[in-house]
Amino acid sequence: MKKITIGITHNSKYDNYARWIAMEPGTQVVRLGYAYDNFHDISRCHGILLSGGDEDIHPRFYNCPEYLPLCTGGVDERRDEFELRIVDYAISNRLPLLGICRGLQIMNVYCGGTLVPDIRAAGKPDHSRLAEGSDRHHSITVPPDCLLGGIAGLHEGEVNSSHHQSADRIGEGLMANAISDDGVIEGLERRDNHARSFLLLVQWHPERMGDQTNPLASTIKTAFLDSVR
């Protein structure tokens, strides 16, 4: 089996992502983060995982600075800038890319999209983690004839949830591939995935779903790593 290296963007729960990816035979990971001053390490990577994290993307990056008071997770503009560089490199060099939670959001912003700064303030039910710290769970619908549906082999399912922001206006070249029952965008992918490198973005956390046999966890990782190989 071909040995591959996956670059994973740093956050406070980096180890969760690293374990999830590195448990696969022939796979190693490298941490990418501005605090490590190691953008150059991306040249070693065969694929990129954009991780989640507590920090919200500063709304100035999607031309809505007035949203800043609603960014209750705090912001880290150095992380935003670093990860936008990561995305640009990955796209320019046709590296397969998987985005999880905040990773979906930074990719949507890179493509010119915008974010809902706070889902509850927008009148939707809470999608953030429960008071005791565990994830919420809800159902999603996956439209026919999309990459995610082909990977997971289903058109509806249940996912975990731990976010207070979501994609709003979808970025250029992207389309929604999963919607929650209350109308929140839960996944994005390219409109034309066949002509470009692998790109899949999900708002939930497959790396920490308790049931790793759930097609909305296991098959996503498998499809990503297969595309890298």
Catalytic residues: 101, 205, 207
Amino acid letter, 86? I
Token pair of 85, please?
């560089």
Residue pair 155/141 in contact by the 8 Å Cβ criterion: yes
Closest CA to 205 of 50, 134, 118, 101: 101
List Cα–Cα distances, 86 to 32, 69, 133, 206, 215, in angstroms: 9, 27, 30, 21, 28
**DSSP string for 6-29:** EEEE--TTHHHHHHHHHTSTTEEE
Name residue 100's amino acid.
Answer: I
Q: In whole angstroms, give the CA distance from residue 36 to residue 30.
A: 11
Helix (H), strand (E) counts: the chain: 5, 11
Strands (E), 84-184: 97-100, 115-116, 136-141, 156-161, 166-167, 174-180
Rounded to the nearest 10 degrees, the angle between the axes of helix 102-110 and helix 77-92 is 70
